[in-house]
């Protein structure tokens, strides 16, 4: 079987089963696991799969650029945002991450709550200013064209001097084994740095993120306070962690 045929076969398995197990495919085809792993590595480099230990998983829909995610699972994001807004305490200082679910949360902040909102996202900052009376503090840095979030050394320097009550974290994958992941390495670094400066970390997990895995790890599930899921999601798949739904 030619390399192109093997890759097509692997993508067919991924579409059918939702995952590829390198050992099983190698046995079925009578090939070495190294050959299958090499094919999966090349597919991952092309952005067509996400490599994990022992095989590969599909690329999450939420890994698309932010403008392409605007219409993805909008109803689920709204439900998660409303649920998150209900838990925001008056007078608190919160960090809103970049992303379309946190953008929805920015539009649902409780009024006259004396909030201070810190964010590395220009879009989230504008939404907070337009839809609430909260104080808005921007975290500066180099703007990622993929996620439209500030990152890099300037952002790290600013984050080092911050402290907040809660971090509303946006990721592109929430998986019981692979934890919290995102599609951009600089975003992952910024998210971890923000999490370290906050008393609580609350994950915003709309339906398309549950069970998905992206390329870059952010945090283990054990490192967060709770996962806020869609109230209509009957099977969140996240064990041994407080679920707010």
Task: Give residue-wise pLDDT tens across range 37-52.
Answer: 898 888 888 878 888 8
9 & 34 share domain: yes
* Residue 74 and residue 37 share a domain: no
Q: Please tell me whether residues 135 and 196 are part of one structural domain.
A: yes
The tokens describing 143, both together, are 């703007």
Same domain, 42 and 112: no
One domain for residues 41 and 159: no
Same domain, 164 and 190: yes
CA–CA dist 149, 21 (Å, integer): 34
87 and 33, same structural domain? no
Residue 111 and residue 165 in one domain: yes
Full domain range(s) for residue 110 = 66-244
For position 132, what pLDDT does the model report? 95
- Spatial CA neighbour of 147 closest among 130, 172, 168: 172
> Which whole-number Å values give the CA distances from 76 to 13, 64, 113, 120, 201, in the listed order?
28, 17, 25, 23, 20
Q: Is there a single domain that holds both residue 240 and residue 152? A: yes
pLDDT in tens, 51-62: 888 888 887 766
Strands ordered across the beta sheet of 20-21: 20-21, 55-57, 50-52
Within this chain, do residues 237 and 202 fall inside the same structural domain, yes or no?
yes
Residue at which a domain ends, from 59, 84, 106: 59
Q: Quick one: 114 and 185 in the same domain? A: yes
Three-state secondary structure call for residue 96: strand
Contact 186, 154 (CB under 8 A): no
The CA angle 63-241-99, to the nearest 5 degrees, is 25
pTM (2 d.p.): 0.76
- The pLDDT, as a whole number, for residue 74 is 80
What's the number of domains the chain is made of?
2
Query: Do 125 and 211 share a structural domain?
Result: yes
By DSSP bridging, strand 173-175 and strand 179-182 are antiparallel
- Token look-up 């990152």 returns 151
Helices marked H in 92-228:
100-106, 122-131, 153-160, 185-196
């Amino acid at each position: 079987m030619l390399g192109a045929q093997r890759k097509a076969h692997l993508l067919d398995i991924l579409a059918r089963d939702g995952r590829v197990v390198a050992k099983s495919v190698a046995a079925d085809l009578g090939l070495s696991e190294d050959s299958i792993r090499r094919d999966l590595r090349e597919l991952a480099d092309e952005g067509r799969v996400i490599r994990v230990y022992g095989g590969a998983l599909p690329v999450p829909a939420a890994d698309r650029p932010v403008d392409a995610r605007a219409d993805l699972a909008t109803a689920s994001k709204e439900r998660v945002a409303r649920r998150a807004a209900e838990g925001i305490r008056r007078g608190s200082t919160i960090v809103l991450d970049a992303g379309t679910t946190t953008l929805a949360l920015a539009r649902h902040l409780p009024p006259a709550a004396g909030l201070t909102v810190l964010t590395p996202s220009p879009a989230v900052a504008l939404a907070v200013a337009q839809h609430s009376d909260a104080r808005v503090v921007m975290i500066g840095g180099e703007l990622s064209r993929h996620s439209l979030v500030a990152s890099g050394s300037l952002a790290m320097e600013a984050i080092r001097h911050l402290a907040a009550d809660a971090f509303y974290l946006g990721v592109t994958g929430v998986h019981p084994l692979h934890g919290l992941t995102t599609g951009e390495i600089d975003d992952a670094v910024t998210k971890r740095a923000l999490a370290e400066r906050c008393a609580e970390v609350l994950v915003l997990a709309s339906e398309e993120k549950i069970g998905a895995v992206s390329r870059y790890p952010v945090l283990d599930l054990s490192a967060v306070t709770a996962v806020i899921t869609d109230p209509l999601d009957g099977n969140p798949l996240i064990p041994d962690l407080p679920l707010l739904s």
